[in-house]
Structure 1
């Protein structure tokens, strides 16, 4: 099946992107984890003058996710992904299968992206880390106090997300969403990350939050401990909503 999907990706490339400088096939097909319904994920490098965009299309009955960009557009995408600590486009280039490479662009980008992934993200600043510590402290208080199972499940989901952010920051590791959430968490912290995920599953299956409270508290200790009373965060002036204009004379 994999060879057939690779051939299909090559046909799509020839039909829709004949001017491309490079094309990289990423995702489950490139990793050898394809299934019958797998889509095709393509990173397409285009000459200057083309728009950088993401497009979902259907080719020969199969969904295709296209990440198309110029070199300048790709630099912006990489900067955005690094700032968000998710590195989606870097993962595509670092681990993808090269279908087309004019002038060695794909090879150079793959090497750069592998180095970026290996280096890890910059540490969270104190303000962001404290905000996460405060949020997780509050979540743990609510999780241990609510008798409502639906509320506990909702709080538990937020607890795992906040704890994962702090734990990945502790290890200077990238984070992920969707299926990449557990993958990145387990890569960053195989033991404590697994306990967080198992505890969240136990909460959903049994309604017992004890394991999640313990695992998340351990993460909180690694990040500097609980933070509640005494926490202050000033609202940036530029982010404040504008004050309403005064009413004209004679009107309420």
Structure 2
């Protein structure tokens, strides 16, 4: 792949906000470029705060040879996203705000960062027992399908479903934030690196060698502390 000569992320971000959002109150550069995790395909994630807005919006474009994703908020709309992220246990915007490098600030960023950091430190809501039992039931159902399946194409997709259900279960029962895509692994490592490695190894052994035992043992070990697999006696919606 041909290497692209382009401005450094911080320099490019400054030019972009000056060109496109000159009236904004504040701006942050977030994402992989500020975590020193950028790759050749990484983009610039920029959060903008504009007091002239009454709602928020998101837009993507290419400028200065960078792919750019911009999240534009009023001085209050970001709180709705903070709350939504809290409820779904995926703190995308709070994390961007907390880690973001300040590009511009008319005196509002410190308080917004404080809100973001407070939310992140609190962790998501604790799951009630009823929710844990529902999740156990659906994990058990997927695990039984996985164990009994003899169709390679189908068991690959069942394994994907199990990975999603189990990662959610582990993180939420331990009141840890979740993520999607690459953030699943990152969230698991942040919770327990040794466990995350075991999880990845179990999936890798299945995908490479059709070896199911590692996944089955992992899932059973996780469920054991919550009563094990759940089928007999489970009821949902019964009056």
TM-score, structure 2 length as denominator? Answer: 0.92
Superposed CA RMSD: 1.9
Q: Runs of 5+ in structure 2 lacking a partner?
A: none
Q: Secondary structure at the match of 1:29?
A: coil
Task: Name which of 123, 134, 138 aligns with 1:135.
Answer: 138
Q: What residue number does 1:97 align with?
A: 101
Paired residues of 1:167 and 1:223 also in contact (CA < 8 A)? no
**Alignment partner for residue 32 of structure 2, among 23, 28, 32?**
28
Question: Within 5 Å, which residues of 2 pair with 1:65-104?
Answer: 65-103=69-107
Q: 1:223 to 1:197 in 2, by over 3 A?
A: farther
1:231/1:33 Cα in 2 relative to 1: closer, same or farther (>3 Å)?
Answer: same
Aligned counterpart for 1:148 among listed residues 151, 154, 176: 151
| Change over 3 Å in CA distance of 1:223–1:106 after alignment to 2 | farther
> Residues 93, 2 of structure 1: CA spacing in aligned structure 2 closer, same or farther, 3 A cutoff?
farther
Number of paired residues?
235
Q: Are the counterparts in 2 of residues 124 and 169 from structure 1 also a CA contact under 8 Å?
A: yes
Q: Which moved more, 1:16-25 or 1:189-198?
A: 189-198
Q: 1 CA distance for matches of 2:24 and 2:227?
A: 49
Partner residue, 1:246: none
- Runs of 4+ deviating beyond 4 Å: none
Bigger shift: residues 117-126 or 94-103: 117-126
1:214 paired with 2:217, answer: yes
Map Cα deviations across residues 52-104 of structure 1 (whole Å, 9 max, x no partner): 0111111123211111111321000000001010000011011111111111x
Is there any run of 5+ residues in structure 1 with no aligned partner, and where?
236-252
How far did 1:135 drift? 0.6
SS of 1:123 mapped into structure 2: coil
The alpha-carbon distance between structure 1 residues 2 and 86, as it changes in their structure 2 partners (threshold 3 A), is farther
Partner Cα separation in structure 1 for residue 7 and residue 116 of structure 2 = 25
Aligned mates of 2:101, 2:162 — CA distance in 1: 36
Quote how far apart the aligned CAs of 1:2 are.
9.7
For residues 29 and 160 of structure 2, the distance between their equivalents in structure 1, rounded to whole angstroms, comes to: 32
1:170–1:222 Cα contact (<8 Å) kept: no
Superposition map of 1:34-183 within 5 A: 34-103=38-107, 105-183=108-186
Please state whether the residue corresponding to 1:213 is helix, strand or coil: helix
